[in-house]
Structure 1
Amino acid sequence: MEISCFDDLLQAARAQGEPQRLLFVFAGVELPDDATPAQRERFARGEGGALVPQMCVDKAPDELASFDALVQEAAQFGKDWILVFAAAMSGSLNRAPTSSDAEVPLEGMVDAIKRGVHSGLIPFDRTGHTVQID
């Protein structure tokens, strides 16, 4: 199944044979301290910058009704985010992964985003649509 929006992700997670846990890292964008004048100019126009993890959360698919519900929950923390990266963990033997099980993978996602590595992660914009990161 191709995932082009957040609802596709929820549908795919709910359709799996084993219970899933969804992992989310919300990222903002900042201008690095060592940015060149050209990078600063692009950033002022709303382009470029470095993705910086702001917060993370894990959820069972049935804990999320929609992307709007996730956005509303994130708003409670007052962080300025531009993208949310998603990944899924699969359970086994009909046992769903727990939040404790998700801690290390979430830390790995945060570290990967800090390093600029996004493979295996699905980035969604603030409207819940997937985006391509160049």
Structure 2
Amino acid sequence: MPSSSSSSLFDQLLQAAAAQPEPQRLLFVFAEAELPGDADAAQRARFEAGQGGALTPVACVEKSLPELSTFAALVAESRRASLPWRVMFAAGLSGANGQPPSAERIDSALEAMVEGVRSGAFGGYLALDTEGRPVRFG
């Protein structure tokens, strides 16, 4: 169960999106950690201890604010879809002129997020583990 500070990060994301003047969509990329085939013994040991590895996106989704309630509900939805993941990356995408972002903008932004996760360029995203705790890289 996430701690109050953990769940508050997700809650803060929802509050920040709700406070924006234009309609928002929240974008999520779910990633699993995998051990690269050329990993050495030290890397294997770290991975077996739950650290390190390469992040591989396994799914992405966009949600409107009314579709989101709690972090636990989002995790439960991902589990019902049988998604194996360790890190969830989240970002907001703003609409314009009172309209939500177009499907094309959403698809483009999700593709950019997926590529960012693959390449390790995800510093601008909120990263949470399966318990809702912030993930720090480096």
Q: TM-score, normalised by structure 1?
A: 0.91
| Residue 23 of structure 2 is aligned to residue 19 of structure 1 | yes
| Residue 31 of structure 2 is aligned to residue 58 of structure 1 | no
Counterpart amino acid of residue 96 in structure 1: P
Query: Displacement, 1:8?
Result: 0.6
1-side partners of 2:131 and 2:47: how far apart? 21
> Who is 1:88 aligned against?
92
| Residue 47 of structure 2 is aligned to residue 5 of structure 1 | no
Q: TM-score, normalised by structure 2?
A: 0.89
Q: 1:69 to 1:98 in 2, by over 3 A?
A: farther
Counterpart amino acid of residue 14 in structure 1: A
Query: Displacement, 1:5?
Result: 1.1
Query: Displacement, 1:102?
Result: 0.8
Q: Which runs of 5+ in 2 are unaligned?
A: 1-5
* TM-align CA RMSD: 1.6
What is the number of equivalent residue pairs in this alignment?
A: 132
SS in 2 for 1:5: helix
2-side partners of 1:28 and 1:129: how far apart? 16
> Who is 2:106 aligned against?
102
Q: Deviations over 1:82-129 (max 9, x none)?
A: 110001110111101244431111011111111111121110111223
Q: Is the 8 A contact 1:18 1:93 kept in 2?
A: yes
2-side partners of 1:53 and 1:132: how far apart? 17
> Who is 2:3 aligned against?
none
Q: Deviations over 1:1-37 (max 9, x none)?
A: xx96111100110111111010000011000011111
Identity of aligned residues (%): 47
Moved more, 53-62 or 39-48: 39-48
1-side partners of 2:109 and 2:117: how far apart? 12
Counterpart amino acid of residue 50 in structure 2: G
